[in-house]
Amino acid sequence: MRGRPKDAERPGPQGRERGAVRQPLVDAQLRLRDRRRLAYCEWGDPAGTPVVLFHGAPGSRRMAPQPNATAALGARLITFDRPGYGGSDVHDGRELVDTPADVIELLAALDVDDFAVIGVSAGGAHALATAVQLRERVRGLALLGAPGPLDAVPGAWDALPPLYGPTARMARQEPARSVRAMVRATERFVAHPASFLGGGTRADRAVAADPEHGPMLLADAVEAFRTSGRGMADDLVALWRPWGFAVADAPTGARLWHGAEDTRAEPDFRWFAAALPGARSHVWPDEGHLGIVARWPEVLGRVLPAP
């Protein structure tokens, strides 16, 4: 990057480390046209190929696996807080199709034209919305553990956790009420963000306990819930509602990754493999939902456009 945009705020540490948590090259806020703040980070090689990473739910701009590998692969990784997370202001009533507008403004401020896209978990739907709207600029697309549309993936409604099922149905008729219900449900994570990392599959517990990966995951969760649970609530309600775009309109040749231990995401993985044009699927037999963290160089290396 040739420098921060003139309307960015709050620059951060430049690639230094504090304890075991790696710091980004840039940690700043952009003031959008509607006056909302959008917090973002940059990692890796500032002169490298731009890649936009869409974090999960919950998540934040601190979701940046293995920054040294990012730099070594020649990638300029851009991460940002979706509205309501971390340092980004709430966007009332946001839908999936609202995300590309924020990305457009961010990339314009950073002087980025073409870029690759990676969507993690619930961030996959936001990555797809962006890839569909900006398909002429997208040079690579990857989804990892991403849930598909509730009305399209077989058995998706029945697979929702007991807490989410009624709230997801409410989201179809009363989205604001559904958001309020989810904000209440996230209060325990706001009070204790680390509790969100407990449990999971054997593979996911190993990733979270790894001294290389665990501090990043904890920093991501802490930032996600720093102000409230609103970001997660808005994300889930948007995911449960009609998506507003056709998945089949995504750029051809998307890469899909799935950890075999992540059994809940398996139907979605199979659905995306059939629904996305020219999709190429990869299964990690010994990984779970957090497989991207341990396998980051593989994912990034394959999504980067060929020179």
* Domain-located, residue 97: yes
Give the pLDDT band of residue 190 (cuts 50, 70, 90): very high
Report the domain count for the chain.
1
Q: What residues does 27 pair with on adjacent strands? A: 41
**SS3 label, residue 13:** coil
How confident is the model over 280-303, as pLDDT tens digits?
Answer: 999 999 999 999 999 999 999 999
The torsion of the CA quartet 65, 29, 4, 214, rounded to 10 degrees, works out to -20
The whole-angstrom separation of Cα 223 and Cα 200 is 21
CATH number for 193: 3.40.50.1820
* Domain-located, residue 3: no
Residue 244 falls in which region: left (phi positive, over 0), alpha (psi -120 to 50) or beta? left
Find the mean pLDDT for residues 8-23.
Answer: 48
227-239 b/e (C-beta count within 10 Å ≥ 16 → b): bebbbbbbbbbbb
179-185, long-range: CB < 8 A, 24+ apart: 179/230, 179/233, 179/234, 179/237, 180/233, 181/233, 182/229, 182/232, 182/233, 182/236, 182/237, 183/228, 183/229, 183/230, 183/233, 185/229, 185/233
* Domain-located, residue 241: yes
Give the pLDDT band of residue 20 (cuts 50, 70, 90): low
- Its pTM stands at 0.92
> What pLDDT, on a 0 to 100 scale, did the predictor assign at position 33?
97
* Domain-located, residue 223: yes
Range of the domain at 77: 8-303
Of residues 201 and 283, more confidently modeled = 283
How confident is the model over 102-121, as pLDDT tens digits?
Answer: 999 999 999 999 999 999 99
Radius of gyration of the chain (CA): 18
* Domain-located, residue 1: no
* Domain-located, residue 2: no
pLDDT at 218 over 50: yes
